Structure 1
Amino acid sequence: METVPKVNINALPALKNTTDDMIAPYLKSLGYKQNHTLTDVRLVIGFAACAIAGVTFYYDWTAGFEAVKGGTLYAVIAYFILNTALTFWIWLVEGGTIYVGEKDGVKITISTHTEKHSPIYHMKITSVLPGTSGPHTVEEKSSFTNWFDEKGYFVAKPFKAFLQDSIPSLAAKSPEAIALKSKTKSVKS
């Protein structure tokens, strides 16, 4: 895992974002290949909206408002449509998904969230194993205090154990996860 700066342990968004950022590098170290389609679609929609705004500004700057006001109306409508599509994409399609990846035919999708004023990290893992009829979903939760120390530094070992315990395709394969799992459960109590 990469070095992580100190975070404010009282800021749930900082704890969640830092934890989310640690999932992809760890799974990459295990040989998972991340699929970036969700992020790519978000970027294309966002860049298209920005391009419309930029082109409209340029034409307004060079030709003057009176000359381009008819085109500005269409640009505003297109911008509104693209931003509405982006909002729906983020809320309905992505829905908190922070990782999509695959290794040896095992496809996993991870979504996370926190609840207001609660230091609990909620993780939903959907796995599709080769030769199975459908997806298998597991929901896990744990306190951020299990992998952040009292000063706000991220501690990788307990988080790795939490991930290995939570992801079905990893849980049975790693003796380190079994050893760290017992330590993590004692920390949770």
Structure 2
Amino acid sequence: MSNNDNNSAGGDSDAVSEEVKVDKWDGNAVKNSLDDAIKKVFTDSDRKLGYTENHCLVDTRLAICVTAVGAALFALVWDYFNPFPLSKPVLIGCVVSYFVLMAILTVYTTFVEKGIFLRATQSDPTGVDKPKLWTVSSMLKRFDDIYHLCIEYKAPNGRVSEANLSKSIANWFDTNGVLLFDKFESEVIKLHDSLLSDKKNK
């Protein structure tokens, strides 16, 4: 087999490996595939933007979850060395702590995260300005085909602006459920660039 044939085969395998195919009737799978595609557009170093992902929101959620699980494990270990009823006060404290932390987690995901799945930092190449923050959130209601996307841009001076997109998922998937990545990427980039254009106009 010639080198050209090898390169052609390699290119085909790369294309297949990057192909994203989902069940079009599974709303969660569709939303997750679109969200993952946006993450790739914003943070993949091989693509146009190549921003750095900020894990602050996810880390906070994980910290709450780990603390809650830690309380449950502590109760288990304490009860092992101090069998009930000696462990009763500690068990009560740990159970209460667990449910309080779960309540905090619910409030956090509902009112702080609010559908945000990506925060990315855009550093100034010159190092003069502070980093710019991009926040991306999305929503796809159950039994609905309209994907709602919101990109928020926070400038170094604190000014915040946002751009929104609401379109049917049919625009970005073919009949087999394969994500048309290039088409979707162009729309995301267009939305991203509209915020920068708005910044220049002001």
Q: TM-score range by the shorter chain?
A: 0.7 to 0.9
The answer to whether the aligner puts 1:126 opposite 2:126 as a matched pair is no
**Cα distance in 1, alignment partners of residues 94 and 137 from structure 2:** 34
The code of the aligned residue for 1:6 comes to K
What is the deviation of 1:145? 1.7
Residue 63 of structure 2 is aligned with which of 9, 25, 44?
A: 44
The aligned amino acid for 1:74 is: G
Is 2:163–2:195's contact at 8 Å kept on the other side of the alignment?
Answer: no
Q: Which moved more, 1:159-168 or 1:32-41?
A: 159-168
**TM-score, with structure 1 as normaliser:** 0.82
**Inter-partner Cα distance in structure 1 for 2:152 and 2:96:** 37
27, 30, 38: which one pairs with 1:23?
38
Contiguous gaps of at least 5 residues in structure 1: 173-189
Bigger radius of gyration among the two? 2
- Aligned counterpart, 1:8: 23
**Partner SS, residue 149 of structure 1:** coil
Cα shift readout 1:8-36 (whole Å, capped 9, x = no counterpart):
10111110011111222221122211111
Instruction: Give the CA deviation at 1:99.
Output: 0.9
% identity of equivalent residues: 29
Three-state SS of the structure 2 residue aligned to 1:79 is helix
Q: Tell me the number of residue pairs that the alignment of Structure 1 and Structure 2 aligns.
A: 171
Contact 2:161 2:195 in 1 (8 A): no
C-alpha deviation, 1:82, in angstroms: 0.9
TM-score (norm 2): 0.77
2:177 is paired with a residue of what secondary structure? coil
Please give the alpha-carbon distance, in whole angstroms, between the structure 2 residues aligned to 1:107 and 1:163.
16
Q: Deviations over 1:82-130 (max 9, x none)?
A: 1111111100111111111121333211110012321111011111234
Distance 1:125 1:5 in 2: 23
**Alignment correspondent of 1:162:** 187
